[in-house]
Structure 1
């Protein structure tokens, strides 16, 4: 295996990207790596896609699909900034390009550098008053309103994407890669990438319906953005979230759909009640019960800000040392009434006839569907043509070969003794179990799936348990990889670096992970080591839940030494749980996990 000579992860201070000199790394996001750059004595932010476009002919559908996933989100962000570059509240776009080759490889764009840090860091340092917070809220909503007027939906708004300039305490919105813009390509099936505990209730309903499994897309609108602005304001006023992100998947979904969060002014007596009520209205379960537009929210904030000259608005909005205030009987009764009213409105809404589309909406939907259908037909035609050429190459001998393989499978089943047990066990049909656990049969099925794409019950066949090769065992024993704290912390995909708390989207197939500094000082592999392996994402379970398995067979040390190994991802026995947002072929996992050396493949 070989590694890329140039990669955004390898850029260091002093390197040049075009005319821009790298000063320092600013961190990694979902699909990009951000750097502080310098030119002519001024500082800028350079954001680069973490994966290059593949080396495929420009006219192929694979090229189009890969580019949509690799660079599409950054294209969106650059296009949004270009269309709104003169507006305050957004970074000013300076340049777009590719590196190191000007017409291929890694897409990047450059904006003015925004000094300061994310909102939550500013809040902890400044300890803002209610008057200062409402100023930030107003500027944020102004920027959101400008985007909405141009038809842009943010879809993943959160405090980490709000940078506060310490010179004037003005917010700037960054990381718009998940945004939807009119006329832009559709990058996702189902929901856009987002933060689970900040998903609006209508997104949870869409997940429960399961239509996304058939390729349906969630129709986002402005009220979803406003809900996430409400989550942002709730965090600003309480230093917490409406719904605890540490809840289990099922608990979190139920809470978002049904639980009315505590009012911020009940949690923190320093919060003005007017700001608290605005926040709760943004967090209403039904979109129609929130503010109808960002302009309406802006008007409500202006009305509330009229109180800013009062003493209550001039003290820091922070929790007392003893923590959140306990709930009173009056608060509990108020929340009960709020829930009853929400249920009543929901029941009334179910009785109302569906609203008819306006002529403009109907035309817009028809145009969208026409483009989508045309694209799907074109991809289907190309796929059919490829398959036809493929089968022609196979020739007439394929039929006989397949027949021989089927007979071989039947022979293996016949010769495998079936235990004397009831016809149906608690795990299902014994015949199916016997076939799937027969190593020769599984190997044959795997070969059939890989070679002919036929006879496959799932996109992947689970890797077989077997002993680690002797050469790999010798290499690991020589380097004492089984002694002490033998697990290593890794970024799962070198092309998706980021913080441990962030998530990435992964596909089955080859994968390159990178060792990062872990909890233990006795890390058996040095930081920066690359692990080469394979990821399986379908047809696997862990404790009854969908899971992922990763195996690494080769290591490349920072000094260039390469040797075989047997490492597994996350757990030496059972693999890694999928997150509930995952979909077939694209699993969502934390960006960082652990890898363990093993003597026997699980």
Structure 2
């Protein structure tokens, strides 16, 4: 339903001021975009109004005025041109609109798919883009959302930077409510991502966006163009802005089809060290100009991506169809009906689809029937298992050896722990209560779960997250001590130092045990099918790792053992999308294992559950490329199973 949502509901043939509506092109965070006609010429008309993506409708008009102010300062052949602005239907209080050139072409991602560019063609295109970006920065304007969707390529082969809805200029008023300005999470610079990781929960924290952030974003686009034959259609792409993980080079990703010099240049643009990256767009353009002179078939004749990896040719273009008649392209995902409140994005956080797309350009995504399928993982991950299984086998051997050396008939006494007085057992200071993101929002769905606080409902005793709803000081101390040993031993896997450190067997996940009766009853009332043969709800493992939309852009994260608060990515039975679930992760084995034992229900109530990470019938979620001892990498979104017994 989202693809057809139009708050203005203007139909082809209707008039908006002096412009006749031809079709609706798309909609985004604060605007709806139409193709319009006047005096036989085509234009793009962007109307600021509250859409289904609007988070802060009060800022809608202010954002439209700021976009117009940015465009008024710019005049460059490779930047979208604003031709006029006004208000409709009332000249004083109506919707603010801007009129733009209509560019007949494709998004940058579609250009790659349709033209099969050579390295030289990519170099020429990005030289023009850096020339345009140099002009933008010279006017003290920052685009802040240079993405594959916000760069068009005309049918003549020239790029055009569009959509300045997230742009900013030197004297503009502050409109951003969160730590980071709106934009595409994948294209954030490493320094911006680090700021977000450290300040996402700090009220009033603001990142100072710089020209180098725009340069990184353009470098991220170059990386995707060089490494992916179907940019934006690929579900899993390497993280580009991590301070820990380095993505594979374009030379390696394409098995040598990207020349080494161009590959090195692309990696320089997205380098984590600011001193390595070009400081200005002019510097980036100058370095790239040296590559334009390269001759040879590998530069000017051989496409970067083989024909077998490209899409089949599209049929000849016909008359433009209404948006409602066009079919969505690529893998589709629904928008969560209850957005996750980790970060309150500004109204224009979701990129506005291009105001200059032709009829064949990307249509807005709509929910598909396949979206409810269990989370699947790429076969490439299976290749990683022997490596980690080998490390695990070695660690088990070391554990058995040290246990045989240190075994004695007398077991050491467990140090006594003085039980705190009731005043010291403050529930508000538990690991879950400390996190602002652990507090559930009030949800509208009325769901009655009886006896959710009954003392007869027993949550798993071995969960460090909960002990019948109240942290147990002895449990917390034991878990902290064990966690310290695990961290130390994990770092010493496959080394002689393992024995010297006195590391015994590290528990990679808790022992199997039955699910409490109260949890089974609660899951039944939620309408969940219980058992490993029934795929459970898809889950965002940890809400502090970002939103579901961000997880689609950057699917992987580095994990560690400990308490965690996740969220359902879509409605499941009577449980709404975004419902929070508390649990625990275990990350020291060959996979990431997780158990979620408490659900935050509508109205602020809680109920016990037994929800276990599982994918394609296999327990846990696999490790990804780049995993290291003590720093496992895995996806942020996983499948689950509602279970009668923990495996």
Tell me which residue corresponds to 2:44.
45
Tell me which residue corresponds to 1:488.
none
Distance change >3 Å, CA 271–CA 247, structure 1 → 2: closer
Tell me which residue corresponds to 2:299.
313
> 1:247, 1:218 → 2: CA distance?
27
Q: Does 2:255 match 1:266?
A: no
> 1:465, 1:320 → 2: CA distance?
49
Once the two structures are TM-superposed, the CA of residue 185 in structure 1 deviates from its matched residue by 1.7
Tell whether the 8 Å contact from 1:25 to 1:36 is kept in structure 2 after alignment. Answer: yes
Tell whether the 8 Å contact from 1:23 to 1:35 is kept in structure 2 after alignment. Answer: yes
Tell me which residue corresponds to 1:78.
68
The alignment's C-alpha RMSD in Å is 4.5
Among 279, 287, 297, the residue aligned to 1:292: 279
Q: Does 2:98 match 1:109?
A: yes
> 2:93, 2:183 → 1: CA distance?
29
> 1:242, 1:18 → 2: CA distance?
38
Single out whichever of 313-322 and 15-24 deviates more from structure 2: 313-322
Alignment of 1:537-556 (within 5 A): none
Distance change >3 Å, CA 15–CA 546, structure 1 → 2: farther
Distance change >3 Å, CA 124–CA 212, structure 1 → 2: same
Once the two structures are TM-superposed, the CA of residue 169 in structure 1 deviates from its matched residue by 0.9
Tell me which residue corresponds to 1:193.
182
Distance change >3 Å, CA 282–CA 46, structure 1 → 2: same
Distance change >3 Å, CA 234–CA 201, structure 1 → 2: same
Tell me which residue corresponds to 1:67.
58
Q: Secondary structure at the match of 1:287?
A: coil
Q: Does 2:282 match 1:283?
A: no
Once the two structures are TM-superposed, the CA of residue 36 in structure 1 deviates from its matched residue by 0.6
Distance change >3 Å, CA 50–CA 83, structure 1 → 2: same
Once the two structures are TM-superposed, the CA of residue 183 in structure 1 deviates from its matched residue by 1.0
Distance change >3 Å, CA 282–CA 420, structure 1 → 2: closer
The alignment of Structure 1 onto Structure 2 pairs a total of residues equal to 350
Q: Does 2:81 match 1:95?
A: no
1:442-484 alpha-carbon deviations (Å, 9 max, x no partner): xxxxxxxxxxxxxxxxxxxxxx99999xxxxxxxxxxxxxxxx
1:163-196 alpha-carbon deviations (Å, 9 max, x no partner): 1110x21111111211221111222121122223
> 2:525, 2:138 → 1: CA distance?
61
Q: Secondary structure at the match of 1:257?
A: coil
Once the two structures are TM-superposed, the CA of residue 16 in structure 1 deviates from its matched residue by 1.0
Once the two structures are TM-superposed, the CA of residue 215 in structure 1 deviates from its matched residue by 1.9
Tell whether the 8 Å contact from 1:245 to 1:252 is kept in structure 2 after alignment. Answer: no
Among 130, 142, 149, the residue aligned to 1:141: 130
Once the two structures are TM-superposed, the CA of residue 115 in structure 1 deviates from its matched residue by 0.8
Tell me which residue corresponds to 1:224.
213
Q: Secondary structure at the match of 1:98?
A: strand
1:4-56 alpha-carbon deviations (Å, 9 max, x no partner): xx96451111111111111011122332221110111111000112318xxxx
Distance change >3 Å, CA 547–CA 417, structure 1 → 2: closer
Once the two structures are TM-superposed, the CA of residue 229 in structure 1 deviates from its matched residue by 0.9
Distance change >3 Å, CA 211–CA 277, structure 1 → 2: same
Distance change >3 Å, CA 281–CA 243, structure 1 → 2: farther
Tell me which residue corresponds to 1:444.
none
Tell whether the 8 Å contact from 2:46 to 2:98 is kept in structure 1 after alignment. Answer: yes
Tell whether the 8 Å contact from 1:130 to 1:271 is kept in structure 2 after alignment. Answer: yes
Tell me which residue corresponds to 2:505.
none
1:368-426 alpha-carbon deviations (Å, 9 max, x no partner): xxxxxxxxxxxxxxxxxxxxxxxxxxxxxxxxxxxxxxxxxxxxxxxx9866999x997
Tell me which residue corresponds to 1:301.
288
> 2:598, 2:32 → 1: CA distance?
30
Among 145, 148, 171, the residue aligned to 1:183: 171
Tell me which residue corresponds to 1:524.
none
Once the two structures are TM-superposed, the CA of residue 282 in structure 1 deviates from its matched residue by 0.5
Alignment of 1:493-504 (within 5 A): none
> 2:458, 2:287 → 1: CA distance?
70
Distance change >3 Å, CA 257–CA 243, structure 1 → 2: farther
1:467-502 alpha-carbon deviations (Å, 9 max, x no partner): 99xxxxxxxxxxxxxxxxxxxxxxxxxxxxx9xx89
Q: Secondary structure at the match of 2:261?
A: helix
> 2:602, 2:19 → 1: CA distance?
38
Q: Does 2:126 match 1:127?
A: no
Tell me which residue corresponds to 2:15.
16
Tell whether the 8 Å contact from 1:22 to 1:37 is kept in structure 2 after alignment. Answer: yes
Considering Cα pairs closer than 8 Å and 6+ residues apart, tell me whether 1 or 2 has the greater RCO: 2
Alignment of 1:377-396 (within 5 A): none
Tell whether the 8 Å contact from 2:35 to 2:44 is kept in structure 1 after alignment. Answer: yes
Q: Secondary structure at the match of 1:142?
A: helix
> 2:18, 2:579 → 1: CA distance?
44
Distance change >3 Å, CA 243–CA 548, structure 1 → 2: farther
Unaligned 5+ segments in structure 1 are 1-5, 53-64, 325-415, 434-463, 469-497, 504-534, 552-572, 574-602
